[in-house]
Amino acid sequence: MAGARAAIRYAKAVLDLAKSQNAAEAINTDMVTISQAISESQELNDFLQNPVVRSSVKQAALAEVFKGTQDLTGKLVETLMENKRIALLGDVAKSYTQLFAEYQGSQTAKVTTAVPLTSDLESKVLEKVKELTGKDAQIENIVDESILGGFILRVGDIQYNASIANKLNRLKREFTLN
């Protein structure tokens, strides 16, 4: 939990600095690339998490992997190295993209379903999110078969649980109380 809070703090600092330098969008592109690379490559993630690998080796490897990124992105990596927080790089990148989306007036709606969303359902969810929050959103679909059916929608601080597993648990509690 402390790591998540630290990642958000780093992301906020980088966003503020990027806005002052009119580079917020370019940095967002870098952060999307970094986030995708770390989430898609278990080896890269393990490499960053490994406390045995020296910081200098990690920094050299990251400089090679993420060639062509903005100077501010490189400075973020250096700062994370100096503060012995390089393991947070993926979380910082994700937090930055979320903060940037909020800054742009958009948000991410996380929809957990038992099966992948169809385009028709996705458009209905987007309409509901716009109705609830007044903002546009991007959909992040999480597939979790344990909810059995229905969906769980999370947008910012709002959570709406319409899963079948939740309804069954409510019925179970009602029967055990009576």
Nearest to 165 by CA among 122, 125, 114, 117: 114
* DSSP one-letter code for 162: -
Strand partners, 108: 138
Q: What is the pLDDT of residues 110-159, one digit of tens each?
A: 889 888 988 888 888 888 888 877 877 888 888 988 888 888 888 877 88
Checking if the pLDDT of 104 tops 60, the result is: yes
* DSSP one-letter code for 138: E
User: Residue for token digits 């703090």?
Assistant: 9
Quote the CA–CA distance of 172 and 98 in Å, as a whole number: 37
At 106 the pLDDT is 76
Percent of the chain with pLDDT over 70: 98
At 2 the pLDDT is 62
Quote the CA–CA distance of 178 and 171 in Å, as a whole number: 11
Q: What is the pLDDT of residues 37-60, one digit of tens each?
A: 998 989 998 999 998 989 889 988
- Percent helix, strand, coil in the chain, to 5, is 65, 15, 20
Q: How many CB atoms lie within 10 A of CB 91?
A: 20
What three-state secondary structure class fits 177?
Answer: helix
At 178 the pLDDT is 64
* DSSP one-letter code for 134: S
DSSP string, 3-66: HHHHHHHHHHHHHHHHHHTT-HHHHHHHHHHHHHHHHH-HHHHHHHH-SSS-HHHHHHHHHHHT
> Global pTM?
0.66
**Domain 2-102 is in which class?**
mainly alpha
E strand or H helix at 136: strand 136-143
The residue ranges of every structural domain in the chain are 2-102, 105-177
Task: Provide the token pair at 74.
Answer: 């490189």
